[in-house]
Chain A
């Protein structure tokens, strides 16, 4: 028995893969020779397919890099192990089967990798992500890697319960149909006492908003204990509901240090009769699935703020696309998800953002390259997530927002409500009137994309608060070049 063989890179014929004795003799093989590259592979309906954007180090062959990605995101280790032969190892090896240069991006390649369904524990995003975005993203032969999109097989989709409520049932519970929902984040984010905070909530809801919202970093700081916030906010919600005859809500953020703390806060929100609570993405996949279970059990709508996502979704060459995060969140279970505004202050190319909305709301998502969607995705009747557009939007953009996103969205105007020169109620009125006028005009057959400003101006004639809003913010735009855009030009046949 030879135990002194030093790991030497063997570069002989690809026939190695087929010859078990050679394949498993000690040493270091190229990943493509270990079975992670199968250009003839036909993905099965039950396979998960990932599309990675990879930037190999100088001198690293793109096919070898793709095979390495397949290997490092499934079973491979850096050297050959004989213990593989104790297993049905071919099943566990992910298979890179296609590599193409990224259009107009020298040095970057798209790599398609297929994963057998046995690789992932049923109903566990934590398990799936530990493989797909685990060690592979720190792998030295790659300068950078990004998980661009994922096709999740129906067989695996069906192991998830998905959104606790879903957008259809949410509308039924709220008794609000045929228009986007309106919300606002209570501002300032930090420093308001519970009493002052509830004032903002009351004014916004009474003025015409459907929802108010805690911000992502409002938990239980020295200036406002969480119980105080919940008590004052729910008084405001109920008072506004009585004043308008509408169901109202305020997303009570239960994000906390431990699951025990989050459950305690959620229980209190339920006792006080809140229709909705909120968590931040930073609590992690396992906590998200646990909270989704809790919400499902207690008839609670679950709002997800995507705090932190920009650290890994924004740069095009490295990380995880938000469309993948949105798919995982729909499986894991949330009812609201911040998905961008396209026209507001935060990152987002309009078509790319529409792609995220499709992922949240479709029954069947079609491949649509200009929107960044690389795969057909059958959602197998999984409930739908209500997308949330929040961040630097105002009433003057109502036609653009309705045209881009349609009815099934929560439009959140924080500064655009609370910063209104005539007060918070006036800000809410401006937004609600702008919204209803635009929905009405669209339904009447008007072309809101082009006629929008005229429709708003006409509505402002009977609504002074809207006129004031348009005078204050009408010209404000955030026209910066997005960093995360599709690599594929719009084709005339693209679905609308």
Chain B
């Protein structure tokens, strides 16, 4: 278990709050849709802080204007990857933004072992740091499985 105050991975907009219910997730999706964002579902079993590219569960839903439809995709992803991290990501195509506008975790493995900080002593008192997930030693797709 991770030792930060939440005991879990704190990426995303709402990791310090109690897990959002599906009704609460739908409200966030509606907020994004009202602002013209396109929603996407992404999943991974490698939540390293610098792992930018989680797997896409389909391409962003540019033409889907209905939160219920987005929730169906999320449900399907959860069924396919129940022990993965899953996040909702909203894309804003406005000129001058053209990036992600919202991102929050909606599914987690039951156990979150977290990361080890490896220190390599180099010249003088300098240090080279590597962050390695405790679950990362198993191959992709075989991590976070309850034994």
Contact = CB atoms under 8 A, between A and B. Distances in A.
A161 interface: no
A177 interface: yes
B28 A443 contact: yes
Interface string B41-62: 0000001111010000000000
Given A168-B97, A238-B117, A245-B11, A429 B5 contact: yes
B5 A247 contact: no
A272 B117 CA distance: 14
Contacts of A260: none
Contacts of B96: 168, 363, 381, 384
Contacts of A426: 5
B27 A245 contact: no
A58 interface: no
Contact of B101 (A178, A234, A241, A243): A178
Contacts of A245: 2, 9-11, 47-49, 114-115
A245 B15 CA distance: 11
Contact of B131 (A241, A272, A428, A439): A241
Contact of B2 (A244, A425, A437): A244
Interface string A24-65: 000000000000000000000000000000000000000000
Main secondary structure of the interface of B (DSSP, over half): loop
* Size category, A interface: 35 or more
A243 B4 contact: yes
Interface residues of B, number: 45
A436 to B, nearest CB: 5
Nearest to A239: B117
Contacts of A247: 49-50
Given A384-B96, A429-B5, A246 B125 contact: no
Nearest to B51: A175
Contacts of A471: none
Contacts of B95: 363, 381
Interface in B108-123: 114-117
Interface string A233-277: 011001101111111000000000000000000000001110000
B130 to A, nearest CB: 9
Nearest to A207: B5
Contacts of B117: 238-239, 241-242
B49 to A, nearest CB: 5
Interface in B93-144: 95-104, 114-117, 125-129, 131
Interface in A333-368: 363
13 contacts: A175-B11, A177-B13, A178-B90, A178-B100, A241-B49, A241-B115, A243-B4, A243-B114, A244-B2, A246-B11, A247-B50, A436-B17, A440-B20
Given A206-B4, A241-B115, 10 more contacts: A177-B101, A208-B10, A208-B16, A234-B129, A242-B114, A384-B96, A426-B5, A429-B16, A444-B24, A462-B18
- Sort A-B residue pairs by CB-CB distance and give the 3 closest, nearest first: A178-B102, A242-B117, A443-B31
Interface of A: 168-169, 171-172, 175, 177-179, 206-208, 231, 234-235, 238-239, 241-247, 271-273, 363, 381, 384, 425-426, 428-429, 432-433, 436-437, 439-440, 443-445, 459, 462-463, 465
Interface of B: 2-6, 9-11, 13-18, 20, 24, 27-28, 31, 47-50, 52, 90, 95-104, 114-117, 125-129, 131
